[in-house]
Amino acid sequence: MGDKSLEFMQRPGLWPLWPVLPVKQRDGMKQPRLGVMREAAFGVKPVVYLTNLYELGTGLVDFNKIEKIEYLDFEGLVDDGWVVD
């Protein structure tokens, strides 16, 4: 799934819930860690915002106040266990 997730993450035009893409990180945890990527955040580094789609649906989410993880590249993000949810 990692290779498919990597390609999909890099192509926001294919995201079914554009402008966000739900992602999850299992990495040995019972419950996956949830996050979203935003097309608007694309730039030098990919970013995972540690929130979920249900919180986004409230319309009260301020992305500037959400904990986030920045990666040097998409390969590092996938290597860290993130996949498309």
**Per-residue pLDDT tens listing for the chain (85 residues):** 567 888 889 888 888 888 889 999 976 767 889 999 987 666 668 999 999 888 877 667 788 889 999 999 999 999 999 999 9
Q: In what order do the strands lie in the sheet with 82-84?
A: 68-70, 47-49, 33-38, 20-25, 82-84
Counting the structural domains of the chain, the total is: 1
How, if at all, do strands 82-84 and 33-38 pair?
unpaired
Domain that holds residue 74: 2-84
Q: How far apart are CA 28 and CA 37, in angstroms?
A: 21
pLDDT at residue 43, as a whole number: 63
